[in-house]
Amino acid sequence: MKLANWYWLGSAVFAASGFLVVANNETEEIKDERAKESCPVRLESRGKCNEEGGECPFQVSLPPLTIQLPKQFKKKKEVQNLKEIVSHLKKSCQDCKLQADDNRDADRSDQLLPSTGVPGQADDNRVRELESEVNKLSSELKSAKGEINVLQGRLEKLNLVNMNNIENYVDNKVANLTFVVNSLDGKCSSKCPSQEQIQSPLVQHLIYKDCSDYYAIGKRSSEIYRVTPDPKNSSFDVFCDMETMGGGWTVLQTRLDGSINFNRTWQDYKAGFGNLRREFWLGNDKIHLLTKSTDMILRIDLEDFDGVKLYALYDQFYVANEFLKYRVHIGNYNGTAGDALHFSKHYNHNLKFFTTPDRDNDRYPSGNCGHYYSSGWWFDACLSANLNGKYYHQKYRGIRNGIFWGTWPGMSEGHPGGYRSSFKEAKMMIRPKHFKP
Ligand SMILES: [Ca+2]
């Protein structure tokens, strides 16, 4: 008998005997209840079996059969369930993927990005693209920040430059007008009908910035004149020295007789005090305006009680505004009295702030030089020159708080009995650097 036939036969018997599958905790058994009474395997001749075909002359009787299945077999149902879940998930995943593809297609149509054809790779590429875009934008932002800073700096510079330019422009225009009007004034004959108008007080105020402008139109007497150094500010009176060294000098300060007290407050020194024909301080605001509008030189004249007269000339003199504490800029020295304003490294009045007994801007940390020396001045810590000191009519003793010029002959030497020299006269005056007498 062939093996295939045996197999077919066995299957048929299994089916006929109605196997029952019973599950317990440990094993699964397949039992045939009726098989308990059956005999061992028998092979019998059965003529009745399939008589028509004549192919089944024997019948096989099998003994009772018990098959032990491994305990993992009970998972069959769970496996089935898992299979179902997996197939469900597969379907969901496919739906999901379709949806994602749809979205990606939509994105692509918006941004016109090339497709790689592989979904995972496409995502990676997209992320890389976004990353590089973010990096690019970030670096662009950084450089934009830098540019903004640079532009801001330039804007601040331009603002300053523009303010200075505008001031200079206005000053130049006024200077040109002054020149034109002055030359017209010179050409005008007595018949000139507009002469009266040109000489009106308003025009005069716009024209004469300092005493040199009066000198330029032929004024030769040392007198009080009205000047307008800065058209934006009001005019004021000054005393003009039209005799000393070619004339044209605007006088800032004079000491003659001690009639005026120079131990004064910040406010007094700011506004000016005294008598323009005798002793006075012109005023720090006015000195600022005069020295701001034109490049000025400074001349100092001194005379002691022995009748010695000497002078000091500085080729630049400028006093800043009140906000900058009237800081003084003093140029190079020339003259006979000695360079007391730049006396030494430790006593130098150049670039010092103004100090008064009630306003300490000096470089002396332990006190106020203005208070100690009874005056307002551009103190260092404290002085090698002070033309605003107390007026002594003769030699004096004690604190050196008189009018002082450190380079004066014999000034710094000791005197018998500790006496100190003073000055009979002192004068400070300015004139434009390019003035031609
Ligand atoms: Ca001080």
User: Which residue is it, tokens 């693209």?
Assistant: 129
Decide: pTM greater than 0.85. Answer: no
Distance 300 CA to ligand 1 centre (A): 26
Q: Assess if residue 204 is contained within a domain.
A: no
Nearest-5° Cα angle at 67, 66 to 71: 130
Distance 308 CA to ligand 1 centre (A): 34
Q: Assess if residue 70 is contained within a domain.
A: no
Distance from CA of residue 397 to its chain's centroid?
55
Please, are residues 185 and 198 in contact by the beta-carbon 8 Å criterion?
Answer: yes
Task: List the domain range (segments joined by +) for residue 353.
Answer: 211-432
Residues 397, 401, 403, 408, CA torsion sign: positive
Give residues whose Cβ lies within 5 Å of ion ligand 1: 360, 362, 364
Listed in sequence order, the DSSP H helices in 45-118 are 76-111
Q: Assess if residue 189 is contained within a domain.
A: no
Tokens of 204: 């005069």
Distance 345 CA to ligand 1 centre (A): 18
Q: Assess if residue 331 is contained within a domain.
A: yes
Please, are residues 260 and 399 in contact by the beta-carbon 8 Å criterion?
Answer: no
> What's the confidence (pLDDT) of residue 391?
98
Angle between helices 119-187 and 76-111 (to 10 degrees): 30
Q: Using alpha carbons, list the distances in angstroms from residue 16 to 9, 34, 287.
A: 11, 12, 135
Measured CA to CA, the distance from residue 341 to residue 192 in angstroms comes to 50
Q: 3-class SS at 265?
A: coil
Q: Assess if residue 190 is contained within a domain.
A: no
Q: Assess if residue 160 is contained within a domain.
A: no
Distance 253 CA to ligand 1 centre (A): 24
Helix (H) or strand (E) holding 251: strand 249-255
Q: Assess if residue 269 is contained within a domain.
A: yes
> What's the confidence (pLDDT) of residue 416?
73
Question: Tens of pLDDT along the chain (437 residues)?
Answer: 444 444 444 443 343 333 333 334 433 334 444 444 444 555 555 555 554 544 555 565 555 555 555 555 555 676 677 788 877 877 776 765 656 555 554 444 444 343 444 556 777 888 888 888 888 988 888 988 888 888 888 887 777 667 767 777 766 776 677 667 666 655 554 444 454 444 555 544 457 999 999 999 999 999 999 999 998 988 999 999 999 999 999 999 999 999 999 999 999 999 999 999 999 999 999 999 999 989 999 999 999 999 999 999 999 999 999 999 999 999 999 999 999 999 999 999 999 999 999 999 999 999 999 999 999 999 999 999 999 999 999 999 999 999 999 999 987 777 777 889 899 999 999 999 999 88
Measured CA to CA, the distance from residue 101 to residue 96 in angstroms comes to 9
Q: Assess if residue 334 is contained within a domain.
A: yes
Measured CA to CA, the distance from residue 388 to residue 416 in angstroms comes to 25
CATH of the domain at 403: 3.90.215.10
Question: DSSP letters of 59-78?
Answer: EEEPPP---PBPGGGGGHHH
Measured CA to CA, the distance from residue 291 to residue 31 in angstroms comes to 128
Tokens of 343: 């006396």
pLDDT digits (tens, 9 = 90+) for 161-178: 677 677 777 667 766 776
Distance 355 CA to ligand 1 centre (A): 9
Q: 3-class SS at 31?
A: strand
Distance 341 CA to ligand 1 centre (A): 19
Please, are residues 385 and 365 in contact by the beta-carbon 8 Å criterion?
Answer: no
> What's the confidence (pLDDT) of residue 263?
98
| Phi, psi dihedrals of residue 77, rounded to the nearest 5° | -65, -45
Distance 375 CA to ligand 1 centre (A): 14
Question: DSSP letters of 136-176?
Answer: HHHHHHHHHHHHHHHHHHHHHHHHHHHHHHHHHHHHHHHHH
Among residues 95, 137, 133, 93, the alpha carbon closest in space to that of 111 is found at 133
> What's the confidence (pLDDT) of residue 187?
59
Total domain count, the chain: 1
Nearest-5° Cα angle at 181, 178 to 184: 145
> What's the confidence (pLDDT) of residue 324?
97
Distance 387 CA to ligand 1 centre (A): 19
